[in-house]
Chains A and B, each alone.
Chain A
Amino acid sequence: KNEVEQSPQNLTAQEGEFITINCSYSVGISALHWLQQHPGGGIVSLFMLSSGKKKHGRLIATINIQEKHSSLHITASHPRDSAVYICAVLDSNYQLIWGAGTKLIIKP
């Protein structure tokens, strides 16, 4: 079993829809990252969370430490949001353990 599990693996939605991507982890962590990777490779850090909720524009990230679960939400989705979204947890050994990613496609 992977230490970081993301769901769904693939998600296709229409422009304007509310998007939710989930992340569950099984190890002790000090922080959880949500990252975005566009075709071509570059990775952009969206959020780093250790508790509660963060919001940046149309993106919202939440984490429940007790349940070892985090969600990334996108409101009013747009085709430019199409990318791979990755959940990664920072463990006690300073290592980022990555989820497999969720490929999101937003159709106009």
Chain B
Amino acid sequence: DAGVTQSPTHLIKTRGQQVTLRCSPKSGHDTVSWYQQALGQGPQFIFQYYEEEERQRGNFPDRFSGHQFPNYSSELNVNALWLGDSALYLCASSLPGLQYEQFFGPGTRLTVL
């Protein structure tokens, strides 16, 4: 079992560009959550996908969008990047339901110049 995987591991973009980050959940998991962790801060919840739909969303602008595919993998898209989007983006997968543990990927470190 490969666990949760994310790609790429590191990414450098310039202001105004768009970025797509990818996440493959742990085998058997169908729920994927995305978090943004700025340097020195705790992770902030972006959104969660289940059955290819956004089930819950945190306090992030519409520039942040996502998608979940039939194989449960997920993408996080960020448009019109600005410096403040520089962060570690974490993906977590779980079984549906509140009683199940979330498993985290290694993260994608995005730097916006």
Contact = CB atoms under 8 A, between A and B. Distances in A.
Interface of A: 30-31, 33, 35, 41-45, 48, 50, 86, 90, 93-101
Contacts of B105: 42
B42 A42 contact: no
Interface of B: 33, 35, 37, 41-45, 48, 55-56, 58, 88, 90, 98-99, 101-107, 109
Contacts of B37: 41
B75 to A, nearest CB: 19
A58 B72 CA distance: 35
A95 B101 contact: no
What is the predominant secondary structure among interface residues of chain B facing chain A? Answer: strand
Q: Determine which residue in A31, A42, A48, A96 has the highest number of CB atoms from chain B within 10 A of its CB, and name it.
A: A96
Main secondary structure on A side of the interface with B: strand
10 contacts: A33-B101, A33-B102, A42-B107, A43-B104, A50-B99, A93-B56, A94-B48, A96-B33, A98-B43, A99-B42
Given A42-B106, A43-B107, 7 more contacts: A30-B98, A31-B98, A35-B104, A43-B43, A43-B104, A96-B43, A98-B44
Contact of A45 (B42, B99, B104): B104
Contact of B42 (A44, A50, A101): A101
Contact of A95 (B41, B58, B88, B90): B58
Contacts of A41: 37, 88, 90, 106-107, 109
